Structure 1
């Protein structure tokens, strides 16, 4: 009879230990899921960047927004820090000025033009844009991103001839 009681006690003890371990394992899985969810939520919070805060506030936009590994950069135009158009009548210099501003935004996020996956160009004069587009090879030394080029009737200010917007993927 003692042997049966000892075996039942041993069996009961083993069951209690197994249930305890299973409970601890379940609790650990739940805690891991909670931590993973918190990390995902934190990495998905948008980070806003203003290149020219006063100008951007006046027009009502942010120059860039980063969410996770994705960065959307508003169209850059050729303007000074007060929002006045520069290089009026010179589409190539306007393009150079746009890329200079875009590089500042990329550097803020520790990126380069190699991280750009999409580039959209809006121009009021496609013929001139095509003539001067060779400059882009100096910007994109390791290959061009996807994108679209569109001729438009006008941009934000009548003196502007080109606007360039980017989408970036920042590797972890």
Structure 2
């Protein structure tokens, strides 16, 4: 085949392909218009349980964006940031849940609204001895989550830290 014949066949193939594409285009009445929707930007709402301590360490205890609330890990401490219930993981766990309940109440929530709970502990065996206490916290349904054994927490006296995620439709 000569180059001119190949060129003519190529052009013919391209034109034929274009005509098939044009045939498959929807008619005007089949074309749907796209409606532009403006999405409102949610403003984060931060909460500080112990403002002086949280500012000193550089974190917020919780933040709410829309229907979602993220709650930082709660540890067993007093209002000055000193560890409490040293050496007693059961009481430390109860103190964590007490602080978490205060944060939940601030947002009009209960433990029934919790969808994720992550527990960090420096002594998994001891935690498992007292994990049954959680049935007093989660009366309807347990949330999803993880239990993680860790080498250490923020201060050596802390044996447990619990963080939560909440979903609360407005």
Answer whether TM exceeds 0.5 for this pair. Answer: yes
Alignment of 1:101-116 (within 5 A): 101-116=99-114
More helix by share: 1
Picking from 88, 103, 112, the partner of 1:90 is: 88
Picking from 39, 63, 66, the partner of 2:64 is: 66
1:162 Cα deviation after fit:
0.2
- Give the match's secondary structure for 1:120: strand
TM-score (norm 1): 0.77
Alpha-carbon distance between aligned partners in 2 of 1:170 and 1:106, rounded to the nearest angstrom: 10
- 1:148-167: CA deviations, max 9, x gaps? 00000000000000000000
Alpha-carbon distance between aligned partners in 1 of 2:56 and 2:124, rounded to the nearest angstrom: 29
Look up the match of 2:169: 171
- Give the match's secondary structure for 2:157: coil
- Give the match's secondary structure for 1:118: strand
The alignment's C-alpha RMSD in Å is 1.2
Alpha-carbon distance between aligned partners in 1 of 2:87 and 2:112, rounded to the nearest angstrom: 30
Alpha-carbon distance between aligned partners in 2 of 1:134 and 1:67, rounded to the nearest angstrom: 32
1:130 Cα deviation after fit:
0.4
Look up the match of 1:47: 45
Alpha-carbon distance between aligned partners in 2 of 1:131 and 1:164, rounded to the nearest angstrom: 16
After TM superposition, the runs of 4+ consecutive aligned structure 1 residues lying more than 3 A away are none
